[in-house]
Chain A
Amino acid sequence: MERFVSAQIVLEATVAAAQDYTDLVVDHDPDDGDHVVPGELRRFLARLRLLHGVPFSYLVPDADLLPIESIRFFYIDRAWTDALVQGALSVGTITTADRAQLEAVYPKIRDDVDEAERTIRTPRGEERLQGAGGTITGFLMRSRVVSGWPNLHVRAYSRDVLDDDALTTAAEADPNRMKVLRLERLAPAVLLVLFDGVPAVIHIEEPRQGIQFGVRLNPADPPAQRHAKVKVRDNLTGDPVPPKETFTAGNSVDVPFRRGAPGVINLVELRKRLAAKAPNSGGALEANEYALQMLRFPYRQVFGDPDDLEGQKFFDLDKFKATISLTTWKATIAANVDKVKP
């Protein structure tokens, strides 16, 4: 038993406390669960991990690394972001005891922040991720696309789950879809996106502002002779007529314009042309059928290995057609159940 308090005793007590009592939880968060690090600090450090506030010249040290009209994919160097967090933690450590304590508790802080960085961006309707993440990847895009099309739609998949041009909303909820940890325009024409994991496929889509109608302008035309085309869709299913990639005489029509007017579509003529080409149109188009033909879905640019066609088989729910009526099926079931009963 000691008689008086010396610096040695305090240092020993501090180290012992930091080593033995790091499990003492201080932050009870109803949403986040219990953590060693208090919520505000945890979120600040996690935002730091996602490079919030880091000057851009530290991310891209030279403009040649991100030229105009380019997209650059990357992995996040965890050692770098850890050093960033350590720098923030070093604030206010003055005495040896402070540092001893920080050293003892640092593994806990790191685990907590690993977990928190996956919950910083939680859009409404997206479930919170539990546990710590692994590798973080992402891309920087510097392009007129970013400034001209605000609210780009970015998704990443750990497997190539569907056709590049599949028209379905099921892909939104696919289990292989990876969480976007950060999606931010750093400058009018620079977009930074971080993914939770290493994606196999990345989709970048035009922003979806409701349903749109339009044509495909030919960008190669001279200004005085601009042309446009519309792809023909099947009048019953709404599916575009193959081939999907190219415009052929069979699957598209030239858009007729009003003579002498800038960009005004001659609807009557366009309706005639579409009616002549569209399957199952019956030779005439109603207003709704016309709208169906003019539907323009957002363009989707897919980044991934073009040879990787592994793709899990994907069934469109709307393609399912009942072939047996419910009453018949019930009767069949009932008959089978009767057979089994003793």
Chain B
Amino acid sequence: MPKTGHFILHSNVLPKLTAGHYELVSEQSGTPFDVAPERTHVTVAAPRYVMPTDQILSTFPPANAEGAFGDRLPQIVLKRRTLPWERNPAEQLQPSTTPWLALVVVAEGEAQLSAATPVAQCITSGTTLLEATEDKDVEQGLYLAVTETVVKKIFPCQQDLELLVHVREVDINDTELANGDDDGWLAVVLANRLPVFDIANAKPVRYMACLVNVEGQLAALPPPEPPDDHFTFELAQDWTVLASIDPHVGPDPRVMGGIDIGNIALPAAGGILGAQPPGTMAAAQATSALSRSPIVGTALDGAATMKETPAAQQWVSATEKVAKVALDPDAKRLVRDTMASGFRYPIELFAAEKVYRFPVLAHWSFTTNEGATFETLMQDLDVGLLGTIPEPAADAPPAPPGPEVVQTGHIGLDHRTRRGDPVRAWYRGPLVPFPTDRDPAGDGRPRLAHSADQIRRVVPDGREDLSLAAAFEIGRLLGLSQLSVVSALLRFRGEQFGAGRVREILSKFTAFKLPELVDQRIDLGRFVALEVIGDLVKNPADMLGPRRPVADPGRELVVKGDLDAVIADGLGFDLEAVRKIGQEVGILAAVTQAQVPIANREGQVQLDQRAIAGLRGALSAELNNVLGVAAPNAGRRATVPGAPRAARDARDALDALIERAAARDDADQEDA
């Protein structure tokens, strides 16, 4: 395998068998019994009407490109090295060094690319192919319809075919040469025509390159002729006039005749100068005989060239059209179709001479839009340093004065100051004609400006130099134009120094030494908390105050009067009676027997009218309170009758209960 950047060229790589159906018969002899021969069928498949897209590695010029391709031969690179020799164009079984593929380059208006057509009709009628019905890779294909004149002018000769195809062997790791091929062997098919620029009219020319199948039609190819050392660009045959025919005329009148094609002159047959072989002459005579009895409307033979060719303007947007349809979901089909626009003139219907059909396996179009060569353009470039103006030639006509440019690269521009004074100021962009000093102060420490006004300068001639101030403003606006940048800047400032700032502030308030901030993350809050807790624990009396005793002393019980009388009074029984019985049965039994008054007996409720009135008053006050909050006006009226008015705002039993519960909670916690 060749090294990266190198390649090896081979003339051809012939397969052992051409494409087709084969029968393999194996017979065995010399055995004492008969052995039936084994018959196996083998099919060698190869593309015939359509080139599978995975076999096309690259094309030059690139499809739909516009550029200066005038001095380069278009080419198509195929992945399988044997592809161009897998069929014998002379319709024989054995492989031949003459390839069956040719790359034909037609300019717009020279030929017709068909729509999808059954493959049997994709070839000139009367041509017989080997296994025409069995060996076909697709049902429908495209064909290129070209008049005999065009074939004679631009198709390669039979002898050329061999020279136009070669095999290239490259290193598969070489991205530029191998371009993603799998084995590093590539078959290259060259065209025989330079896609030149129309220098005379200074007009871009749109070309279509077609990879055609020349099987069975070698005889149609032009014979070798004595050469010329120069050429002129003109279309081999200009059928663009057909674009001016009313497109609404149906196909029937076109075929049957009788369309008024007006004053359009159709291109004449013939045109190849010099000696023609007798056969061609005869054909040409036959053609001219045909043209004398026109099949379409008026006379077909008009040798005059057309002045006005509306279709010729199609090139203007052809590239854009293709780029547009590439966005369509059905792009694969549409792109090919749109690239063929401009190559769809119905030449077959109008041509008076013989029209050949060649199956097209692949096609793409491109535009030559530049007549000059890279070399001349580069050599004619005006070379200089930016910020300098070329000296006008001595004999140049007096030109209006150019911009005010000085040797430092500064340019004088009109400047309107903030006060409105019209003055001139100096400006110099970032691109300067000589190396400049980055830090003019020279102390090595970069200076930072916070606003554009800081870097306005006044130069010795009294004018302001606004270069850096302008740069500052542009940078500020570019930064502001992207929200993500603004937020990144703010986040950067916050995050980068947040920890440092906190540490510095803390250090002013803490007695202990804070840790140094290094690479690993330090949780300052936790550090300070731990330090503070440590201090708290060490001397709690100073930090937190005196300790509380473990338990509270109990409350002193105060009893006024005789203890027995107080208890008996509290329980509601008769002390004297108990004492009297106690003398007989003992005090304990007497207490047991004593009758204690119970508020409610079982099964009956004694309502204390005073208590009910109090509860009702409390309920009414609470209701009013709630209603007063919910509906301030309505609440006034909804009072419960009989409730004391004073109770409305008084503290009620619930408040007292809550207060008691809260007080108890506090007490519990203190005890814990």
Contacts and interface: CB of A to CB of B under 8 A. Distances in A.
Interface of A: 1-2, 5, 9-10, 12-14, 16-18, 20-22, 24-26, 36-38, 40-41, 44, 48, 51, 53-55, 58-62, 64-67, 69-93, 98-99, 101-103, 105-107, 110, 135, 138, 140-141, 143-145, 148-150, 168-170, 198, 204, 206, 208-217, 219, 221, 223-228, 254-269, 271, 285-292, 294, 296, 299, 301, 303, 317-318
Contacts of B433: 74-75
Given A64-B389, A148-B67, A215-B71, A87 B474 contact: yes
Nearest to B155: A264
B449 interface: yes
B608 interface: no
A53 B432 CA distance: 19
Interface in B561-602: none
Contacts of A289: 9, 11
Given A209-B61, A216-B71, 4 more contacts: A71-B381, A213-B190, A221-B230, A258-B228
A223 B377 contact: no
Interface string B397-422: 00000110100000101000000000
B610 interface: no
B347 interface: no
Given A82-B446, A224-B200, A303-B383, A51 B71 contact: no
A277 B388 CA distance: 48
B243 interface: no
Given A54-B474, A59-B430, A214-B194, A209 B488 contact: no
A31 to B, nearest CB: 18
Given A61-B429, A70-B382, A217-B373, A226 B71 contact: no
Q: Which of B5, B176, B227, B499 has the most CB of A within 10 A?
A: B227
B451 interface: yes
Interface string B45-87: 0000000000000101110010110111101010000000000
A60 B429 contact: yes
Contacts of A286: 11
Nearest to A19: B500
Contacts of A208: 176
B115 interface: no
Q: Which of A59, A73, A143, A263 has the most CB of B within 10 A?
A: A263
Contact of B195 (A38, A141, A150, A263): A263
Given A209-B62, A258-B228, A149 B389 contact: no
Contacts of A88: 475-476, 478-479, 485, 489
B220 interface: no
Contact of B411 (A62, A70, A213, A221): A62
Nearest to A295: B9
Contacts of A206: 374
Contacts of A150: 65, 67
B509 A90 contact: no
Given A37-B492, A148-B369, A260-B272, A44 B482 contact: yes
A299 B177 CA distance: 17
Contacts of A102: 448, 450, 493
Contact of A140 (B431, B474, B509): B431
A99 to B, nearest CB: 5
B164 interface: yes
Interface in B163-181: 163-168, 176-177, 179
Contact of B177 (A25, A26, A78, A210): A210
Given A148-B370, A267-B156, A262 B232 contact: yes
B382 A18 contact: no
Contact of A10 (B235, B273, B480, B505): B505
A80 B467 contact: yes
B108 interface: no
Contacts of A17: 497, 500-501, 503-504
B455 interface: yes
Contacts of A54: 430, 474, 478
Contacts of B403: 61-62, 64-65
B224 A74 contact: no
Contact of B72 (A1, A20, A212): A212
B536 interface: no
B486 interface: yes
Contacts of A93: 450
Contacts of B413: 61
15 contacts: A21-B497, A61-B429, A72-B386, A76-B431, A77-B428, A77-B432, A81-B430, A87-B477, A89-B479, A210-B60, A254-B229, A264-B193, A268-B159, A285-B163, A317-B3
Given A79-B436, A267-B163, A287-B162, A210 B179 contact: yes
Contacts of A101: 493, 497
A72 B20 CA distance: 62
A2 B233 contact: no
Contacts of A258: 153, 222, 225, 227-228, 231
B401 to A, nearest CB: 10
B468 interface: yes
A287 B166 contact: yes
Contacts of B339: none
Interface in B423-480: 427-440, 445-446, 448-452, 455, 467-480
Contacts of B194: 214-215, 217, 228, 263-265
Contacts of A216: 71, 373
